[in-house]
A and B are shown apart, each in its own frame.
Chain A
Amino acid sequence: MTGTLQRPYVAQPVAAEPVITMVDVGMTYPNGKVALVDINVTIPAGDFVFLVGPSGAGKSTFIRLLIREQLPTAGRVMVAGRDLASMRRGQVPGLRRRIGIVFQDFRLLPAKTVFENVAFALEVTGAGSAEIRDRVPRLLSLVGLHEHDEHLPAQLSGGEQQRTAIARALVHDPAMLIADEPTGNLDPVTSWDLIQLLIQINAMGTTVLMATHNQEIVNAMRRRVLALEHGTLVRDESGAAYEREY
């Protein structure tokens, strides 16, 4: 299903520094709800990390802090050595181009074709048509959708829609790809196809952080697992399985 890999994009991890560093991070919402408590995590470039935990454990907040949708109420979040709290508003778009993100619900534009959905991410950051014509087909080839480029999202399966979302997330050669429950709406076979694609993307140098409830995938992959429970990091273990400690 996936196309031949010929380094269609070049990821740009910062080798000397971890991609993600969280130091004593806490997050309490204005309504008093405590989402994260004292999180200390370092994710080196090129890592493949699962973020697991029950609903309400703080996974979404964890992700929102990484893309600076929110700032922590305690501690520091650093991406590629840069403290996000000290980042000016105008620098946030640059950060978000270094972090690709995909969601369970794909978030594609229904009136745009597969090609246009991916190209849109380039257009809105000022890319020229030559760059779009060059990059989009290569990314669609990477995710195995080069023959579906004229299809609308509604004409695609769930797996194909998620692949389109991944192509869009990779369009700026991010150092890191965050996947928030990417297999949540997919059947097991399609889920495995998607995981294979993420493994390939990781093999090309992109750090992958995948939030998931899919025990089967986590157990089979045996990668690093960050487990959250009630906003606390209860486990940070490499080569780990999905354990129901919560």
Chain B
Amino acid sequence: MRLIRFVAFTVVRAWQGFWRNAMMSLAATATVVLMLVLLSGLFIVLGGLNSGLEFIESKVGVTARLIDDLPAEEVDALMADIRQLPGVAGVTYVSPEMALERLKESYREQGLTLDLGGAPITLYASVEIALIDPSFAGSVQDALAGRPEVERITTRQVDYEKLLGIIGVIRTGGIIALGLVGLTVLFMIVNMIRIAVYSRSGEIEIMRLVGASDSFIRWPFILEGILCGFIGAVITIILVAIVWEPIQPIMVRVFQMPTAVSSQFLGVLSAIVLAVGLGVGAIGSWISVRSNLSSAA
């Protein structure tokens, strides 16, 4: 019963305290929102790029376009040789007919029809080489470079490495920006609680004199910081939910690859945003209470 009364007292006092210094509280909440929006943006972009990376990883392999009319025995021999190369997971022969069928399929996926105007078309036969790891692409490419059966070698290794570089830059820049904004948020919350403590110093003194325990004095202030983080997190989650659908096609357009992340990711992101909001609020107010109430309480 006493615990329930303590919780009720703390919640009510924290809520009253939050609105008593409304301007400061709302300013601190706004910085929390700014930080969490930045965090969400970083997670969404990195999530999208990672899903694009996975797509490329699945495609990174080496495609060896074969010369015209290569006899089947030579194709088999070439494929046998390729299987012996380090890092090769599998080899698939793609006939000109299969290549044409794939082309038509890719048109259909975009809602288009491949119109050849009745002209016969023959695509190249090729051998598609799946790799254990994209890093083997270079050595496989080198091994095939001098083979007379192979007319041209293509790989998405360059795309892959470029994307890896972009992800690295965004991740590093994002973490630095998040760190700076995070420090600003902590500073705001620490000050918000400091002002709250000073504005209620009379009350705190009376609480001490009438025998209030440390927890009754401190927890309303800590909860006030947590409340700030919680409100900031809820606002951010609502904002992210609103923009979630519209940004998916934009990301595909910007990054020129299927970056769409699952809606399950939204749930995970919301949990992260909530946890970070509550955590920052709690840490900021705890620091402030420690430094401003340690001697007083």
Show the binding face of A for B, using Cβ within 8 Å: 67, 89-90, 93-97, 101, 107, 109, 120-121, 123-128, 168-169, 171-172
Instruction: Say yes or no: B1 contacts A128, CB within 8 Å.
Output: yes
- Once the chains are docked, how many angstroms separate the CA of A46 from the CA of B214? 30
Assuming A96-B208, A121-B206, A125-B211, what are 15 further A-B pairs, CB within 8 angstroms?
A89-B214, A95-B211, A96-B210, A97-B211, A107-B209, A109-B202, A109-B206, A121-B210, A124-B207, A126-B5, A128-B1, A168-B206, A171-B210, A172-B210, A172-B211
- Report the 6 A-B pairs with minimum CB-CB distance, sorted nearest first: A97-B211, A124-B212, A121-B210, A96-B211, A93-B211, A93-B213
- Once the chains are docked, how many angstroms separate the CA of A222 from the CA of B100? 117
CB nearest neighbor in B for A127: B5
A–B pairs, 10, beta carbons within 8 Å? A89-B214, A93-B211, A93-B213, A95-B211, A120-B210, A124-B212, A126-B2, A168-B210, A171-B210, A172-B211
CB distance from A20 to the nearest CB of B (A): 17
- Once the chains are docked, how many angstroms separate the CA of A241 from the CA of B212? 37
Instruction: Say yes or no: B5 contacts A128, CB within 8 Å.
Output: yes
CB nearest neighbor in A for B205: A107
Q: Is B9 located at the chain interface by the 8 A CB criterion?
A: yes
Q: Is B6 located at the chain interface by the 8 A CB criterion?
A: yes
CB distance from B15 to the nearest CB of A (A): 15
User: Within residues 193 to 250 of chain B, which ones have a CB less than 8 A from any CB in chain A?
Assistant: 202-203, 205-214, 216-217
- Once the chains are docked, how many angstroms separate the CA of A168 from the CA of B214? 19
CB nearest neighbor in A for B220: A124
CB nearest neighbor in B for A123: B9
CB distance from A195 to the nearest CB of B (A): 22
- Once the chains are docked, how many angstroms separate the CA of A11 from the CA of B169? 71
CB nearest neighbor in B for A172: B211
CB distance from B205 to the nearest CB of A (A): 7
User: Within residues 3 to 33 of chain B, which ones have a CB less than 8 A from any CB in chain A?
Assistant: 5-6, 9
Contacts of B209 in A (CB 8 A): 67, 96, 101, 107
Interface size on B, residues (CB 8 A): 19
Show the binding face of B for A, using Cβ within 8 Å: 1-2, 5-6, 9, 202-203, 205-214, 216-217
Known: A96-B211, A97-B211, A172-B211. A125 touches B216 (CB 8 A): yes
Instruction: Say yes or no: A124 contacts B1, CB within 8 Å.
Output: no
Number of contacts between A and B (CB, 8 Å)?
A: 54
Contacts of B217 in A (CB 8 A): 124
CB nearest neighbor in B for A108: B206
Contacts of B213 in A (CB 8 A): 90, 93, 125
CB distance from A103 to the nearest CB of B (A): 9
CB nearest neighbor in B for A121: B210
Instruction: Say yes or no: A97 contacts B210, CB within 8 Å.
Output: yes
Instruction: Say yes or no: A126 contacts B6, CB within 8 Å.
Output: yes
Known: A107-B202, A107-B205. A125 touches B212 (CB 8 A): yes
- Once the chains are docked, how many angstroms separate the CA of A127 from the CA of B6? 9
- Once the chains are docked, how many angstroms separate the CA of A59 from the CA of B207? 23
Instruction: Say yes or no: B206 contacts A120, CB within 8 Å.
Output: yes
Contacts of B1 in A (CB 8 A): 128
8 Å CB contact of A107 from B6, B206, B216 = B206
CB distance from B17 to the nearest CB of A (A): 13
Known: A97-B210, A172-B211. A124 touches B216 (CB 8 A): yes
CB nearest neighbor in B for A94: B211
Contacts of B205 in A (CB 8 A): 107
Instruction: Say yes or no: A90 contacts B210, CB within 8 Å.
Output: no
Instruction: Say yes or no: B9 contacts A124, CB within 8 Å.
Output: yes
Contacts of B202 in A (CB 8 A): 107, 109
Known: A123-B9, A128-B5. A109 touches B210 (CB 8 A): no
Contacts of B6 in A (CB 8 A): 126
Contacts of A107 in B (CB 8 A): 202, 205-206, 209
Which has the most chain B C-beta neighbours within 10 Å: A93, A109, A128, A169?
Answer: A93
Known: A107-B202, A107-B205, A109-B202. A125 touches B214 (CB 8 A): no
CB nearest neighbor in A for B5: A126
CB nearest neighbor in B for A97: B211
- Once the chains are docked, how many angstroms separate the CA of A107 from the CA of B208? 12
Contacts of A96 in B (CB 8 A): 208-211
- Once the chains are docked, how many angstroms separate the CA of A123 from the CA of B210? 10
Contacts of B210 in A (CB 8 A): 96-97, 120-121, 124-125, 168-169, 171-172
- Once the chains are docked, how many angstroms separate the CA of A4 from the CA of B2? 33
Contacts of A94 in B (CB 8 A): 211
8 Å CB contact of A109 from B2, B9, B203 = B203
Contacts of B216 in A (CB 8 A): 124-126
Contacts of A121 in B (CB 8 A): 206, 210
Instruction: Say yes or no: A90 contacts B206, CB within 8 Å.
Output: no
Which has the most chain B C-beta neighbours within 10 Å: A90, A121, A125, A172?
Answer: A125
- Once the chains are docked, how many angstroms separate the CA of A121 from the CA of B203? 10
